[in-house]
Amino acid sequence: MSTTAQTVTVSEATKKTIERVGLIPVLRARSVAQGQAVVQAMVAGGVNIVEVTMTVPGAVDLLKALKKEYGSALLLGSGTVTTVEQVEATIEAGAEFVVSPSLHPEVVARTRALGKVSMPGALTPTEAITAWNAGADYVKIFPCSAVGGASYLKALLAPFPHLKLVPTGGVTLETAASFIKAGARALGVGSDLVNLAAVDAGQPETITEVARAYLKVLADARKS
């Protein structure tokens, strides 16, 4: 198999996992140890994807530690990525997809050149189609809930039904089903699932239970 074919296969496998699981937990931990504890609790609940944001102290070290601990059993992504240098560092550390809160064409281009999945952020119709045309595999609609939530996502997809959108910002257990029914390919989920307080309180099982609940909500929404 050629190198190009291999990278395409890896990229397609990543996209299949993202859409199958339907959740991208956004991890903004305050330390590597806290991040590892949160991920362990989510994995126990069946969620085997995590986006480690560059706002985490030692984010690259956390990616490396998670890659070493879980290998291919955990799909790793990097978040809040705004420079080519961050793309290269996080992919070398194990990230298979790269997420940004905004559109940086050079970040998209470098991510794709390295054979990984690119997910830049956008909000308006112009931003969303510009991100897609720049080569995005998915477009992160952020902050989605602040501008109407699921109804806004549905409105965006009306003129652009080919876009693969991942709403992020304010997604909760109560709103998750509505986003899936509106056409979301996956959901970016923050503190509602990535509950740092639960870990600090020695109650990681809270995260595990919420992870299971999210997967059930998504499965039910897809059936309907």
| DSSP H or E stretch at residue 156 | helix 150-157
Percent helix, percent strand, percent coil in the chain, to nearest 5: 55, 15, 30
Question: Sheet of 49-53: strands edge to edge?
Answer: 117-119, 97-99, 75-79, 49-53, 23-27, 187-189
CA distance 200 to 195: 9
Assigned token pair, 40: 């362990």
Catalytic residue among 15, 116, 140, 164: 140
Asked if 78 contacts 86 with a C-beta cutoff of 8 angstroms, the reply is yes
Catalytic residue among 15, 51, 96, 116: 51
Catalytic: 106? no
Asked if 80 contacts 53 with a C-beta cutoff of 8 angstroms, the reply is yes
Other residues' Cβ atoms within 10 Å of the Cβ of residue 38: 23
Assigned token pair, 57: 């102290």
β-strand 165-167 against 139-141: which pairing, if any?
parallel
Catalytic: 140? yes
* Core vs surface per residue 48-66: b (16+ CB within 10 A) or e: bbbbbbbebeebbebbbbb
For the annotated catalytic residues, the residue numbers are: 51, 140
